[in-house]
Amino acid sequence: MAKPVNGFSKLSKEEKVNWLAEHHFKNKEEGIRILHQYLNEDTKLQSLHDDFIENTISNFYLPLGIAPNFLINNTYYTIPMAIEESSVVAAAGKSAKYWQQRGGFKTTVLGTEKIGQVHFMYHGDTGKLHTFFKGIKPKLLKATEDITENMRKRGGGISSIELRDKTNSLPGYFQLNCTFETLDAMGANFINSCLEAIAKSFKEEAQDFTDFTTEEKNIEIVMSILSNYVPNCVVKAEVSCPLADLNDDKGLSGKEFAEKFIRAIAIANAEPHRAVTHNKGIMNGIDAVVLATGNDFRAIEAGAHAYAAKEGSYKSLTHAKIEDGTFYFWIEIPLALGTVGGLTSLHPLVKLSLEILDRPSAKELMQIVAVAGLAQNFAAVRSLITDGIQKGHMKMHLMNILNQLGATDKEKEYFVNYYRDKTVTHSGVISEFEKIRK
């Protein structure tokens, strides 16, 4: 049971670990040993990790894998993926090889606009507010000039500021909706700094607007913050080939495979329970690359799922069709990513991951990440409509089961061969393991 503690953040790392061991670990020595085991021996690197968050006691590692052979817009990419789930990297690589032989992936960036908002309350004449905003809009932009100077030199900055009346949703609620171009930076700190400067100027200018009554001048700034929903920062990735080329699956012609595949997508559009799992599979591929490249996978997840519900019900992020004898499969997804700033310039493995991708721009990374999601979804749906998802997944999960049982290398080799033509089940592995141990 947890115990209250005062001043925990002021304790040294060793004192924090000892406190945890004293109050939470059944085996104190073993708990301390494991935490120490995952500390980096390079003290400079460990110090860097310690500064990423607060109250660090150790590191939590995820495997960093590689999915090669991705042909994207006629250029080959090797994609790094940080993820713990079995079969994700293997499935991505399998899809890459499949489509490599059918023309590869094609991508297009549809937009790069990001959004931030100043949320405020105003209880007065709406006409006066619009007149006020129109007059002081240039001053709001001027208030950010010091912040946006370097970004503007590179072709980015604030692209628009609009006053939006949201009183139909909440009495007295208005917002300044601002759009930004942040180039190769994800831009969260840049956007938030701009918004706070805009909010400060907006409130100050209201005090000097003579048409406002005393009450109307009392505009309440509630908050100033970027949005992780970026429906105009979108990328499209697709694959296509003649139906006759979809001939790798046993018992199905190319046309039969395509029709069954399209029905599976249609089900994800019709049934939210399926759509959530369907899109989760897409995010397996996307999150893994986003994490490996030092971007914010929580922001990407939130934005993607909001986009999936943009029509009023939650639907598939991917689409498929047959047209003129050709099978098309594609995704359109919002991805606000960066390749400079933040962890991209700090975390050594992030730097290497971006190097593996040939140091992409933010636009290029958007395309690569979208392809990873599309590839993952193709592999999942293909498995579901043919052999079923568990056959391949459980074979990848086999090693996890064997590691839990403490199998030796020789025993692992035996089980890989044993299940070469069998379906892996947890109970089956345990039963066979007990037999060979006896």
Query: Phi first, then psi: what are they for 144, rounded to 5°?
Result: -105, 0
* 85 a catalytic residue: yes
What distance lies between CA 224 and its chain's CA centroid?
A: 23
Q: Are 191 and 114 in contact (CB under 8 A)?
A: yes
Scanning 271-325, the segments in alpha helix (DSSP H) are 272-292, 297-308
Active-site entry in 296, 315, 347, 364: 296
* 280 a catalytic residue: yes
DSSP letter, residue 324: T
Active-site entry in 94, 278, 347, 393: 393
Query: Phi first, then psi: what are they for 164, rounded to 5°?
Result: -120, 130
Quick one: which of 400, 389, 396, 386 has its CA closest to 281?
389
41 burial class (0-12, 13-18, 19+ CB within 10 angstroms)?
Answer: exposed
What distance lies between CA 393 and its chain's CA centroid?
A: 22
- DSSP one-letter string for 134-193: HHHHHHHHHTTHHHHHHHHHTT-EEEEEEEEE-TTTSTTEEEEEEEEE-TTB--HHHHHH
Which helix (H) or strand (E) segment holds residue 133: the answer is helix 126-142
Q: Are 192 and 117 in contact (CB under 8 A)?
A: no
Sign of the C-alpha dihedral, residues 337, 339, 342, 347? positive
Q: Which residue has the tokens 């395509």?
A: 258
322 burial class (0-12, 13-18, 19+ CB within 10 angstroms)?
Answer: middle
Active-site entry in 13, 28, 49, 85: 85
Active-site entry in 49, 236, 280, 319: 280
* Contacts for 43 with CB less than 8 Å, ≥ 6 apart: none
* 319 a catalytic residue: no
* Contacts for 271 with CB less than 8 Å, ≥ 6 apart: none
DSSP letter, residue 244: G
Task: Provide the annotated active-site residues.
Answer: 85, 280, 296, 393
